[in-house]
Chain A
Amino acid sequence: MFTLTDNQKIELIEKHLSNKLSIKEQELFQQLLESDKDFAMAVLFQKDLIPSIAVNGRQSLKLQFEELEKAIAATNTKSQETVFETIKQNIEAEIQQLGYTIDQMIQLFRPVPNYTTAIAATTRGSSLSILSPENEADLSEGFIRFDFGQALKKDIEILIEDNQYDVLIEEEISAGHSEATLPLPTPNFKAGRYYWKIIEGDELVMIRTFFVRKDLMEGLSRF
């Protein structure tokens, strides 16, 4: 019997494990298995080697995909940042067109602390119920429409102020009316936060806030 090199022995085992031995090779394999203890041990080892290597192979592929995931996440963040930056630029341009700086616009939307407290206080125990406008409504269409739900029992006065306490509209609504619509002319009502108050006699019965161009206020949160 001729002697096989180490490489030939390994190739014989590999062929055996993948069922590719010819009849002659099968005979040789069997002879070696019975006569060569080291060959028999090598067969045992090769059987274990292939699944063990598969573990490493899978780990390496997994790493490759995880790297790819990181790259995808980075690209997504970058494109999201680009979108945000574009939105910011658009808002900035629009604010400039209205004749304001970003800081000035932030001031125009700033709430009046006393009124915030008053809104909470007049929510409870009021004799008047108003269906609309809701608190914090966006009224960018040039008017404000009050729906009292039923005819007013008493005369009321509606005051509309900006967030600098300047009264911009003062209107009396007599008893019997169930609704009232007041214009919000553009020169006085540019983008910003405003308040409407309802006075009955000398008593403030309700105060609420509303916005013109609320979308700009939401956009300002990006600055």
Chain B
Amino acid sequence: MSEGNKIGQAKLLQQIKIGNRKVLNQLYQTYREEFINWTRWKFNCTAEDSIDVFQETMIAFYENVVNDKITEFQSSVKTYLFAIGRNILLKRFRNEKQGKTEELEVLQNVADELQMEDSLNLTERQKAIAQLLEKLGEPCKTLLQLFYYQKYSVEAIVNTMEYKNASVVKNQKVRCIKRLRTLTSHLYSADEL
């Protein structure tokens, strides 16, 4: 890979990490059509399924970037995205047991090459917390999401949410967590300790 490409890709990752949605959207639009054609032709997916898989791929890609699982690309962004897509399709075929053995064999070879977030298998309690998070409202919902999901630093949250300084953000975060803990207290028992 050329030095210029490396710099370009490093900038891309950096922009995604700092939450530049435009860059993520551009990436989406750049590879969307090719990805959809590829899944439709190679795996006989419907247009609707292809879009769904592509969106899941983009989400997995985003999570890998913010969790520092991708710091640079061995080949290209496209190869990386398509490899994630293959992995997702493999999991879907396994789950749906559609008997697409030929595709499974091909996909098996790439399945372990990727470090990917496992799809979320939430416990009942985690599902309940996810629902209560919605009830928590703003600014808590956004703040917690920026901090824990998008891995924003406190300073980045100060800028994004226009807080006065880092202390205000930290205090607000504590208040949000406390509120959510109160809302979910019935889900926990002292026996678990």
Q: Is the interface of A mostly helix, strand, loop or mixed?
A: helix
With known contacts A40-B193, A58-B59, A52–B133 Cβ distance under 8 A: yes
12 contacts between A and B (CB under 8 A): A41-B188, A41-B193, A45-B177, A49-B129, A53-B144, A55-B120, A56-B134, A56-B149, A57-B145, A64-B25, A65-B55, A68-B29
In the complex, chain B residues whose CB is within 8 Å of the CB of A48: 123, 125-126, 129
- Beta-carbon nearest neighbor of B142 in chain A: A60
| C-alpha gap A69/B48 in the complex (Å) | 11
Instruction: Quote the shortest CB–CB distance from B160 to chain A (angstroms).
Output: 14
Question: 9 tightest CB-CB pairs across the interface, nearest first?
Answer: A57-B149, A52-B129, A52-B130, A55-B130, A53-B148, A65-B55, A52-B126, A6-B174, A48-B126
In the complex, chain B residues whose CB is within 8 Å of the CB of A52: 122, 126-127, 129-130, 133
Instruction: Say yes or no for B74: interface residue by CB 8 A criterion.
Output: no
- Beta-carbon nearest neighbor of A69 in chain B: B51
Instruction: Quote the shortest CB–CB distance from A9 to chain B (angstroms).
Output: 9
For the A-B complex with A52-B122, A55-B122, A56-B149 known, give 6 more contacts whose Cβ atoms are closer than 8 Å. A6-B178, A45-B188, A50-B148, A55-B120, A68-B25, A72-B32
Instruction: Say yes or no for A10: interface residue by CB 8 A criterion.
Output: yes
- Beta-carbon nearest neighbor of A38 in chain B: B181
In the complex, chain B residues whose CB is within 8 Å of the CB of A37: 190, 193
Instruction: Say yes or no for B62: interface residue by CB 8 A criterion.
Output: yes
Report the contact-size class of chain A (Cβ under 8 Å from the partner).
Answer: 20 to 34
In the complex, chain B residues whose CB is within 8 Å of the CB of A6: 174, 178
Instruction: Say yes or no for B69: interface residue by CB 8 A criterion.
Output: no
Chain A 17-64 interface residues, beta-carbon cutoff 8 Å to B: 37, 40-42, 44-45, 48-58, 60-62, 64
B149 lies within 8 A of A53 (CB): yes
Instruction: Say yes or no for A7: interface residue by CB 8 A criterion.
Output: yes
B55 lies within 8 A of A57 (CB): no
Residues of chain A having any CB pair with chain B under 8 Å: 6-7, 10, 37, 40-42, 44-45, 48-58, 60-62, 64-66, 68-69, 72
Contact flags B167-180 to A (C-beta < 8 A → 1, else 0): 00011011001101
With known contacts A6-B178, A40-B193, A56-B149, A68–B130 Cβ distance under 8 A: no
In the complex, chain A residues whose CB is within 8 Å of the CB of B141: 56
| C-alpha gap A55/B145 in the complex (Å) | 10
Partner of B28, one of A50, A55, A57, A65: A65
Contact flags B22-43 to A (C-beta < 8 A → 1, else 0): 0011001100100000000000
Instruction: Say yes or no for B192: interface residue by CB 8 A criterion.
Output: yes
Instruction: Quote the shortest CB–CB distance from A168 to chain B (angstroms).
Output: 50
Contact flags B134-152 to A (C-beta < 8 A → 1, else 0): 1000000100110011100
| C-alpha gap A39/B56 in the complex (Å) | 36
| C-alpha gap A72/B51 in the complex (Å) | 12
With known contacts A6-B178, A44-B192, A60–B145 Cβ distance under 8 A: yes
In the complex, chain A residues whose CB is within 8 Å of the CB of B190: 37, 41
In the complex, chain B residues whose CB is within 8 Å of the CB of A66: 55
Partner of B59, one of A50, A51, A62, A72: A62
In the complex, chain B residues whose CB is within 8 Å of the CB of A7: 170-171, 173-174
Instruction: Say yes or no for B100: interface residue by CB 8 A criterion.
Output: no
B149 lies within 8 A of A54 (CB): yes
| C-alpha gap A57/B125 in the complex (Å) | 18
